[in-house]
Amino acid sequence: MTTSFVAKRKLLQLRAKLIAIRHELLEARAQHILDYRYDPSQPRVPAGSSGGGRWTDGTGSTAQAPARYRDAAVRAEDQSDVPRAGRLTIASRKRLAECERQFERDIFHCNMVGLTACYSQAMVRKVACEKGHPIPPLNY
């Protein structure tokens, strides 16, 4: 084997590992979105009081409520094949992946420039992309 062939093989192996890591990251982000999505029917502590807006079990306790509601939501989704709010479709997963690639390109650019404003605008662009809004220019 020639050294260039060995180097190319090693590079392909590293690229395959990188793709696998990116896939795991995308799956973790998708699971995070599923676990913490908003459900307007969940009881919450009234605004203006201590802990206002947080989940509650109706007795004022907020400690165990989020996990209980998340578990119920996951069970409900597992029992149904009908797409619901918060469930990621293939199209939305592709959009999130594209947004992540755009963010990586923006961060690469910001690392070259080195300005703090560039990093904040990169995050604004990522959030706009994930929400499906028009993506503002990167004009630090």
Those residues with Cβ within 8 angstroms of residue 74's Cβ, 6 or more apart along the chain or in another chain: 34, 35
Would you place residue 102 in the very low, low, confident or very high pLDDT band (cuts 50, 70, 90)? very high
Report the alpha-carbon distance of residue 101 to residue 22 in Å, rounded. 10
pTM above 0.75, yes or no: no
Instruction: Between 85 and 104, name the one with better pLDDT.
Output: 104
Would you place residue 90 in the very low, low, confident or very high pLDDT band (cuts 50, 70, 90)? confident
Report the alpha-carbon distance of residue 122 to residue 100 in Å, rounded. 11
Give 29-86 pLDDT, tens digit per residue: 888 777 766 566 777 777 777 777 676 766 655 444 455 555 555 555 555 555 455 5
Domain co-membership, 58 together with 17: no
Domain co-membership, 76 together with 96: no
Please give the tally of structural domains in the chain. Answer: 3
Find the domain containing 50 and state its range: 39-85
Domain co-membership, 68 together with 44: yes
Give 117-137 pLDDT, tens digit per residue: 898 899 999 999 988 889 999
Domain co-membership, 57 together with 100: no
Domain co-membership, 52 together with 63: yes
Domain co-membership, 76 together with 100: no
